Chains A and B, each alone.
Chain A
Amino acid sequence: SQTIHQWPATLVQPVGSPLSLECTVEGTSNPNLYWYRQAAGRGLQLLFYSVGIGQISSEVPQNLSASRPQDRQFILSSKKLLLSDSGFYLCAWSAPGGGMETQYFGPGTRLLVL
């Protein structure tokens, strides 16, 4: 069966510091991968998605970036965090294919920027 991991689970970072969040998927090949952000009490905002190694689509202009160095690894980064980057970051995967595939979410990383 497929499993999705995210780490760290929680993170407190000062403004201006760098960020690296990691997501890995087990039990599937060539998944579609997604990064979402959820502000407190709010909905899900798609940040990036990837359909293959090195293929990244950005949804929202911001100071975040994403990379996919391996088939089942997806990384979210920032060079300098802003207060507005605080939130719950969720990685998701779906089977390769179009939009009719179910997306499954990882456990999330709760980021607080102070």
Chain B
Amino acid sequence: GENVEQHPSTLSVQEGDSAVIKCTYSDSASNYFPWYKQELGKRPQLIIDIRSNVGEKKDQRIAVTLNKTAKHFSLHITETQPEDSAVYFCAASLGGTYKYIFGTGTRLKVLA
């Protein structure tokens, strides 16, 4: 079946440094790629998304890049802050359906 691989599973960075999380998808028909942030005990919340007709999207300190040829997309967080500490999930739409395939998550720790 189709899948999404996400790396790394854990990531520790110093406050102010950048963090990069990478995902690779298998379904060539995927055309929508959201990123969710989940704080401990809370619901996942959308932080940024990108559609297949765009190569990069930025929102303040957060950016996402998409390489359709290589079937991978990445989340970039610059100038990290302690409140960025959370689990981040990538997802890819499953072509022809109403479903996503989620990555396994990355636990980001920003050290003060």
What is A's interface to B at a CB cutoff of 8 Å? 32, 42-44, 46, 49, 51, 59, 90, 94, 98-108
* A90 vs B43: C-alpha distance when bound (angstroms): 8
Q: Shortest distance in angstroms between A106's beta carbon and chain B's nearest beta carbon? A: 6
- B residues less than 8 Å from A44 (CB atoms): 44, 89, 102
Binds A, one of B12-20, B60-68, B71-79, B93-101: B93-101
* A49 vs B100: C-alpha distance when bound (angstroms): 11
Beyond the given pairs A103-B34, A107-B43, 7 more chain A to chain B contacts, judged by CB atoms under 8 angstroms and listed by A's residue number, are A43-B102, A49-B98, A90-B43, A99-B94, A99-B98, A100-B31, A102-B34
Closest to A50 in B: B98
* A32 vs B105: C-alpha distance when bound (angstroms): 24
| Contact call B102/A100, Cβ cutoff below 8 A | no
Given the interface pairs A43-B89, A44-B44, A108-B43, the reply to whether A100 lies near B99 with Cβ below 8 Å is no
In the complex, whether B104 has a CB less than 8 A from a CB of chain A is: yes
Given the interface pairs A43-B103, A43-B105, A44-B102, the reply to whether A99 lies near B95 with Cβ below 8 Å is yes
Q: Which of B45, B51, B104 contacts A100 (CB 8 A)?
A: B51
- B residues less than 8 Å from A101 (CB atoms): 32, 98
Given the interface pairs A43-B103, A43-B104, A43-B105, the reply to whether A102 lies near B46 with Cβ below 8 Å is yes
* B 79-110 binary contact with A (CB < 8 Å = 1; else 0): 00000000001000111111110111100000
* A32 vs B100: C-alpha distance when bound (angstroms): 12
